[in-house]
Each structure stands twice: as C-alpha cells, then as structure tokens.
Amino acid sequence: MRAAQYLGSSRPTLRHEASSNSLVELRLDDPRWMDLAAVAPAATVFHLPAWHHVISDTYGYRSALPVNLDHWGRVMAGVPAIRVRRLRGQVWVSLPFSDHCPLLARDDESLRSLAVALVNWSRQQDVPLELRSTLPDTPGWHPTVVGTRHVLPLGAGLDALRQRVGRQHSRWLRHAERGDLRVRFGRSLHDVEAFYQLHIMTRRRLGIPVQPRRFFRSVWQHVIRPRLGLVVLVETPAQQPVAGAVLFTWNRTAIVKFQASDASSWRRRPNHLLYWAALRRAEEDGYQLFDFGRSDIDHRGLQDFKAGWGAEAIPLVYALTHPSTPAPGRRGPVEGAMRQIIRHSPAVVCRALGSVFYRYVA
C-alpha cells in the first residue's frame, strides 16, 4: 500500500519557512512527514494519521506534528502529539493509548536538536509534554520507567521461531493444538465486535474501565479496514470466540495492541494457541519484529508469559518535560476503589465508567 493511502487531515501548517534549528508544525497529511515515516525503521502505525483519527473521532482531542526541517524543507525529525485532558490538567502526549512511540529522526544530531526544541515548545504553550520513548540525555527532560516492553525479532523462519518457545509454553501449546479450538484471522467489523465482547469480559475481570464501542469501530475504520491491522480469534467448534487479539501491522513491525480471553476456557490454553498463530502469521508475512506490548512493573505473571515466547524484556521509559506530571498507569486509591466496583458490577458498569473516565487516562 502506498504511503499516500495512510494520509489524513489536521490543522493547517503554521509556518512554511524551513530552518535547520526551528520547530515547525505540519499537517498530519503533509507528504514530508510520510517521507520520513516511510524510511524510519522505528516508525509504526502510531506514527500514521490513521491512529490520530481513531483518537480524535472518539474523544475530539487536538493533534499536532512538531518537526525540524532542513534548509530544503525536508523533515529531519519529528513526533506526533495529541493534547489530552487529565484530571490534573492538560498535557501533550505522544501518543495517547500507545505503549511506545519513539521520535523519528534521520540522524542522531537531528534527534538531539528536536529533543531540545520540544522542551521550548512545551514551555511556550505552558503545557507539559509526555513522550512515550527514550531520549538522549537532554536538559529539561525527566525520564521515568513505567513498565516493561517485550519484543521478539523475526525473520529466521518458523523452525527457529518454534525453538525459541520456552519448555512450559511448548507443553501448553501442544495441549492446545491437540484440542478442538481453531484460530481465525479477519478484518470485518463483525470480527471487531466479537473481539470487543471478549474485551469487555476481560476488563471487567481485571477491574479496568473499557473503551467505548465507538473507539473500536474507529479502530476498524481507520486501521483494520485499510489493512494496517487484523483481528485474531480463537473459537470453539460452535464458532464461539474464547480468546482474541487486535494486531497493528506496518513497516515490518507487528504489535499486539489489545488481547482478551474468556477465563472459563483457560484450561484449553486458548492464549497459547492465539499467540503462536499471531507469531506464525507475522513470520510468514515477512515482519521483522513482534511487539508484545507493555507490562506493568509489578505484573510478573504477564512478563513471564511474554518472555516464554523468547521475547526480550526492555525497560519502558517515558520522558516528561515536567517532573510533577504523573506518568500513566500509576495506581492510587481512586483506581483501587474503581477496580473493586467494576469487578463486582455488571459489564454495563465497566462500559459506563469507561465512557466517562477512559479519556483521562490516555
């Protein structure tokens, strides 16, 4: 698919003159940004206008694309950001509802220049900026570890991929393969709706508010339907989904964005069948990296599960321009009380709380 097919719309360009040291805001559909995203190895679906459309369609948040240009107008470095409302005030985030979104740059010098300029950009607007990636050591930035990210290199073939699976996972995977569960890949709105039901079930079990249905409909419209992602479903012979995942796939990287399952079916090991099918599909489709997503620091069980597939654990570091800005995912007494309410309430309560509060935890 050509890069032009990923383009969306945003605010008009604020400046047109190019300077090697100036920070310029571009439209999200500016071809110069897509030129950089097309060659940057770290670029993912989160850097494309499609993801901005998902968030803006659901919550109405405003986006920006601050970049550094060279003297010929070429984008040397940049990062998309969205201005969100949190309970303690507004903050620019790059990017909301995204575990990892690195700055894109053509070289180290451009990256350092952008890091310095972004501090000034944040101060001029008097709004903190939160980058969900590591940065060079730069005054004005305050790094904080928020979790762990697991990634697995691909490209060595299915045999090598299977050999990297740990002994425990291999045993449970063989158990699942001998059963009657089957894996199906899809991109229809019906597939997204089937996953969403599992998602509600999982979030209620964990005591976490769920995103509104319109969020997932927007994911389907802007990401999955344009073939920037797909849905993986594990089903019974009666076609009842018992596990599922939404993968984002672009630029040689496959990302597990959402995953859910029916706890009553865990004895059949549907999650092992699900992850192996997703890994195998990514390998066969020529992707070079499989990103299992974020795990909280204190969630050892989830970290061990991801590591069991042979994935490497990497500290997930976010950078903040204001040290008092709370990093996302920090649990307090309010979150603890909400978890208990959700766990002991009907699913409709989980959805209702998500519609009200989820926009504030982006």
The pLDDT assigned to 94 comes to 93
Q: Please state whether the peptide bond connecting residue 189 to the residue before it is cis, i.e. omega within 30 degrees of 0.
A: no
The pLDDT assigned to 206 comes to 84
Segment 164-173 shows an average pLDDT of 97
- Looking at per-residue pLDDT, the higher value among 172 and 350 belongs to 172
pLDDT cut 70: percent of the chain above it:
83
What confidence category does residue 77 fall into, taking pLDDT thresholds of 50, 70 and 90?
very high
Q: Could you read off the pLDDT of 88-112 as tens digits, one per residue?
A: 789 999 999 999 999 999 999 999 9
Q: Both tokens of residue 300?
A: 């050892």
Residues 6+ apart with CB under 8 A from 151: 289, 290, 291, 292, 311, 312, 314
Segment 346-352 shows an average pLDDT of 61
Q: Across 3-141, where does the E strand assignment appear?
A: 23-25, 62-64, 66-69, 75-78, 81-86, 89-94, 104-105, 129-131
Alpha-carbon span 360 to 358, nearest angstrom: 5
Residue that has been written with the tokens 């079916």 in this structure:
265
| Closest alpha carbon to 192 in 237, 239, 252, 241 | 241
The pLDDT assigned to 13 comes to 37
CATH T-level topology, domain 155-287+333-361: Aminopeptidase (3.40.630)
CB distance 233 to 186 below 8 Å: yes
Residue that has been written with the tokens 């009907």 in this structure:
346
pLDDT at 200 over 80: yes
Mean pLDDT of all residues belonging to the chain: 87
What does the domain layout of the chain look like in residue ranges? 3-146, 155-287+333-361
The pair phi, psi for residue 126, each rounded to 5°, is: 60, 40
The pLDDT assigned to 122 comes to 93
pTM equals 0.87
The class level of CATH for 3-146 reads alpha beta
- Looking at per-residue pLDDT, the higher value among 23 and 254 belongs to 254
Helices (H) and strands (E) in the chain, counts: 11, 15
Angstrom CA distances, 134 to 111, 147, 331, 333, stand at 11, 13, 22, 29
What confidence category does residue 223 fall into, taking pLDDT thresholds of 50, 70 and 90?
very high
Q: Which amino acid, one-letter code, is at 313?
A: A
Angstrom CA distances, 113 to 38, 118, 212, stand at 21, 9, 39
Segment 49-57 shows an average pLDDT of 93
Segment 298-326 shows an average pLDDT of 89
How many residues in the chain? 362
What confidence category does residue 350 fall into, taking pLDDT thresholds of 50, 70 and 90?
low
Angstrom CA distances, 229 to 37, 95, 199, 234, 305, stand at 17, 18, 17, 17, 23
Q: Could you read off the pLDDT of 59-72 as tens digits, one per residue?
A: 889 899 999 999 99
